[in-house]
Amino acid sequence: KRTYLVHIPDDYDHSQAHPLVLSFHGAAADMHAQEKASQISDKRQRLNNMGLIAVYPQGLEGDDGRTAWRGAPYASDDAEDIDFTGAILNEVSENLCVDQLRIYASGKSNGGGFANRLACNANVTSRFAAYGLISGAYYPDALPGSDCKPGRKVPVLISHGDADTTIKFSGESSNDADEDLPSIDDFAKNWAYRNGWEKDTYNTSQPHDDTNLWTWGEDGAAGQVRRYRIKGMDHIWPSTAEGLDTSGKKAPFNITEADLLPFFDQYTI
């Protein structure tokens, strides 16, 4: 039996359609840890000027005992995670008033890699307006390559620390993969190319201290891609608060409130 955690906002009104955000935890973590780290359930978070419904799915244990999502080499072969995601959307929509035009997916590490798999699947990505990939683990099986056919231009936000020792910004090897992982820059460029942008033509800015942002496309443009490189940040969900992620380290800004939700807010399906 699969499980997931649901957060219902204080201002929930069953007569009004509320935005929905799914957020997937990393390997060896769980739905409760993801809620705490991402802060998506915080009452100050808003989408479309209203409280949002947040859902934190629970991954299954793989052969090595770690919880994980498909796409990682250590994930359970029995995990039908894409079907599980579709079932969550159906069940939550049956029980709560969900704005079907404003459904979004995010994830950290292996959860970010899995959100990328969702973005690459035309059957599923047709239900999500935009994606946020935080400190993502983009294992070869999860790469946006020949099998990545979303069927539309997909808005994607990609954030990674350049001091990440778990999933290196430069790519290279991982203890959990037989092949090298892509660099985050190449990964972002591939999404930009898929969305119809020139790989090496992007705007550069510094929206926060120690943060370099590449942007393909104007705000609200179909298939906008954002790549955040955060100087000195390790394998965490960026936040100025301590103890919200496994490393307990702080970042220069709160990505959920400052960037992720505003990015989502630009898009409807």
Total of domains in the chain: 1
pLDDT tens digits, 234-269: 999 999 887 667 556 788 999 999 999 999 999 999
Phi, psi of 80 (to 5 degrees): -95, 70
Q: Is 71 left (phi over 0), alpha (psi -120 to 50) or beta?
A: left
Residue 114's domain comprises 4-265
What lies within 8 Å, CB to CB, of 95 at 6+ separation is: none
Tell me the per-residue pLDDT of 221-235, one tens digit each, with 9 for 90 and over. 999 999 999 999 999
Which residues 6+ apart lie within 8 Å of 263 measured at CB? 130, 132, 155, 157, 226
- pLDDT at residue 142, rounded to an integer: 47
pLDDT at site 230: 97
The residue to which tokens 């990609």 are assigned:
158
State the average pLDDT for the chain.
93
pLDDT at residue 144, as a whole number = 46
Q: What is the pLDDT of residues 97-153, one digit of tens each?
A: 999 999 999 999 999 999 999 999 999 999 999 999 999 999 865 454 457 899 999
pLDDT of residue 52: 99
Mean pLDDT of 65-70: 94
- Position 247 scores a pLDDT of 58
Q: Rounded to whole angstroms, how far apart are CA atoms 125 and 195?
A: 14
What pLDDT sits at residue 173?
A: 65
For residue 169, pLDDT beyond 90: yes
Per-residue pLDDT, averaged over 160-176, amounts to 85
**Radius of gyration (Cα) for the chain, nearest Å?**
17
Q: To which residue do tokens 């007569």 refer?
A: 15
What does the alpha-carbon distance between residue 268 and residue 67 come to, in Å, rounded to a whole number?
Answer: 31
What pLDDT does residue 245 have?
A: 73
Q: What mean pLDDT is predicted for residues 11-19?
A: 98
CATH classification of the domain holding 97: 3.40.50.1820
CB atoms within 10 A of CB 97: 13
> pTM of the full predicted structure?
0.95
Of the candidates 82, 96, 75, the one whose C-alpha atom is nearest the C-alpha of residue 18 is 96
Contact residues for 268 (Cβ-Cβ < 8 A; gap 6+): 101, 102, 129
For 211, phi and psi rounded to 5 degrees? -130, 120
Confidence of residue 176 (pLDDT cuts 50, 70, 90): low
Whether 52 contacts 22, CB under 8 Å: no
Strand partners, 107: 24, 133
